[in-house]
């Protein structure tokens, strides 16, 4: 961890680089996170085209007659531990001039602390998912100041010491659960929001099994992930937890109109531990990349259903704590590690079909976890059919919570802003309508 003064110095040094950018594309806003492997900063950015950047660097007249100033967007700058350490004066005293001769083009690299290359690793994975909707976007500004040598300014970072990412303004699933927990009395997320989150997580798993290609995207920059008729790849995220799934904005998505209009899209972040397994398909009941990812998202769903980021930590495929259940009444008996969902009377307003699918994803037996295509079909159908009227008819006690108005109110209050006392009253002033008191 860096001390506050060191952080301030690092921030100032990053600013020096941004200041040298001819078009002043970048502006440091603030530090937003510090972890064992590096730091994250919020930066505002004007996405000029490569031609415009080149013209400004070469001091040529701009290729476009009147260069239009692009609108500012917020992005994340992630710096590696070593990258950031180089900004620390103390560090530079210990390693005077270590990076003076760095020449990336010749492939030379020097890491005095033999640092992990997690940013380089993560960037390579993010590029593979660049057409995928449910994965955070890597942003690659042309001719980043960190990649250049400026007179009077030492080069301190290699290209694997930093990356820029899309800024997801609505926080992580963990932030959301914390807001819920802070607000005493709220016991559950509406089923209709849960189904939408579930479909996003299923899509993220599909992305890992069949990363969308440029061909899949066609004229779009990114697409909804879909299953394919070829063997799934064994890519595993390996670090899926409530901090590594983020909410994006609300969008009117023509690909799936019902999916992201009322509940923002969830996206996977942090691919630092991602790898591809060598699965041996056809080996009966052996875990694969796909079945491991499905188990991981079942834990996230249990977190959401319980409204807490703690309780699901005990779930593991090898736990002795398992229960029998049926996905559909009268169907085959399966086993699950999501035992809390089956505890008598604990989640009386949980959609039974959703309970069944989450339990199946959390089966200790990989072959009992449903295929991704079935999960996507089931979640899409539920999003379409389990609407306000369906809950009123089939789960009348949940009807108030599942109304269009309440789902919208819930998202507005818990996702888009921290709840205030005034907001604690539901639409129409009937708090009972919106929340279930525990």
Q: C-beta of 257: minimal distance to Zn ion in Å?
A: 12
Q: C-beta of 133: minimal distance to Zn ion in Å?
A: 7
Phi/psi at 293 (5° precision): -65, -40
Q: C-beta of 122: minimal distance to Zn ion in Å?
A: 22
Binding stretches for Zn ion (CB under 5 A):
200, 265
Q: CB-wise, 2 or 200, nearer to Zn ion? A: 200
d(CA 425, CA 405): 13
Q: CB-wise, 82 or 372, nearer to Zn ion? A: 372
How far are the Cα atoms of 309, 354, 410, 411 from residue 414, in angstroms, in the given order? 15, 22, 6, 5
Taking CB atoms, the residue at the shortest distance from Zn ion is: 200
Q: C-beta of 203: minimal distance to Zn ion in Å?
A: 5
- The SS3 call for residue 145 is helix
Phi/psi at 51 (5° precision): -60, -45
DSSP secondary structure string for all residues of 160-221: GGEEEEE--TT-BHHHHHHHHHHSTT-----HHHHHHHHHHHHHHHHHHHSPPPHHHHTTSS
Q: Which of 216, 222, 299 is nearest to 267 (CA)?
A: 222
Q: C-beta of 290: minimal distance to Zn ion in Å?
A: 18
Q: CB-wise, 17 or 195, nearer to Zn ion? A: 195
Dihedral Cα 99, 102, 108, 110, nearest 10 deg: 10
Instruction: Please state the separation of Cα 329 from the chain's center in Å.
Output: 34
Q: CB-wise, 53 or 263, nearer to Zn ion? A: 263
d(CA 129, CA 396): 42
Q: How many CA atoms lie within 13 A of 407 on its CB side?
A: 23
Q: CB-wise, 248 or 356, nearer to Zn ion? A: 248
Q: C-beta of 424: minimal distance to Zn ion in Å?
A: 29
Q: C-beta of 266: minimal distance to Zn ion in Å?
A: 6
Q: C-beta of 135: minimal distance to Zn ion in Å?
A: 11
Q: CB-wise, 265 or 376, nearer to Zn ion? A: 265
Q: Over the range 254-270, which residues count as b (16 or more CB within 10 Å of their CB) and which as e? A: eebebbbebbbbbbbbb
The answer to whether the CB of 205 falls within 8 A of the CB of 297 is: yes
Q: CB-wise, 250 or 265, nearer to Zn ion? A: 265
Q: CB-wise, 193 or 327, nearer to Zn ion? A: 193
């Amino acid at each position: 961890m860096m001390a506050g003064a060191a952080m301030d110095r690092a921030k100032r040094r990053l600013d020096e680089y941004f200041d040298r950018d001819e078009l002043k594309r970048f502006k440091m806003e603030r530090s937003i996170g510090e972890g064992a492997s590096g730091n994250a900063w919020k930066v505002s950015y004007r996405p000029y085209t490569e031609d415009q950047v080149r013209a400004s660097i070469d001091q040529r007249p701009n290729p476009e007659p009147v260069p239009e100033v692009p609108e500012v967007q917020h992005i994340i700058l992630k710096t590696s531990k070593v990258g950031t350490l180089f900004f620390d004066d103390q560090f530079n005293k210990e390693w005077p001039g270590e990076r003076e001769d760095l020449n990336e083009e010749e492939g030379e690299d020097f890491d005095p602390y033999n640092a992990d290359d997690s940013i380089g690793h993560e960037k390579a994975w993010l590029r593979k998912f660049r057409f995928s909707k449910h994965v955070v976007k890597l942003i690659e500004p042309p001719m980043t100041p960190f990649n250049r040598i400026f007179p009077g300014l030492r080069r301190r970072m290699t290209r694997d010491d930093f990356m820029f990412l899309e800024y997801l303004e609505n926080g992580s699933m963990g932030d959301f659960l914390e807001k819920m927990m802070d607000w005493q009395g709220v016991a559950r997320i509406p089923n209709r929001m849960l189904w939408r989150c579930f479909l996003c997580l299923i899509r993220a798993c599909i992305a890992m099994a069949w990363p969308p290609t440029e061909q899949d995207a066609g004229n779009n920059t990114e697409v909804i992930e879909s299953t394919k008729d070829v063997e799934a790849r064994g890519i595993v995220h390996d670090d899926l937890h409530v901090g590594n799934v983020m909410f994006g904005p609300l969008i009117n998505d023509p690909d799936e109109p019902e999916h992201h209009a009322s509940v923002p899209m969830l996206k996977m972040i942090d691919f630092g531990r991602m790898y591809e397994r060598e699965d041996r398909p056809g080996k009966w009941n052996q875990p694969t990349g796909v079945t491991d990812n499905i188990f991981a998202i079942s834990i996230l769903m249990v977190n959401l259903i319980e409204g807490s980021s703690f309780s699901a930590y005990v779930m593991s495929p090898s736990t002795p704590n398992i229960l029998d259940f049926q996905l559909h009444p009268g169907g085959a008996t399966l086993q699950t590690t999501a035992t809390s969902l089956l505890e008598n009377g604990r989640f009386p307003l949980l959609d039974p079909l959703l309970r069944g699918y989450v339990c199946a994803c959390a089966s200790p037996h990989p072959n009992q976890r449903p295929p991704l295509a079935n999960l996507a079909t089931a979640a899409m159908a539920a999003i379409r059919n389990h609407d306000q009227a369906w809950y009123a008819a089939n789960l009348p006690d949940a009807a108030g919570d599942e109304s269009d108005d309440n789902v919208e109110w819930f998202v507005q209050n818990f996702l888009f802003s921290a709840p205030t006392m005034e907001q604690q009253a539901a639409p129409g002033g009937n708090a009972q309508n919106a929340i279930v008191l525990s």
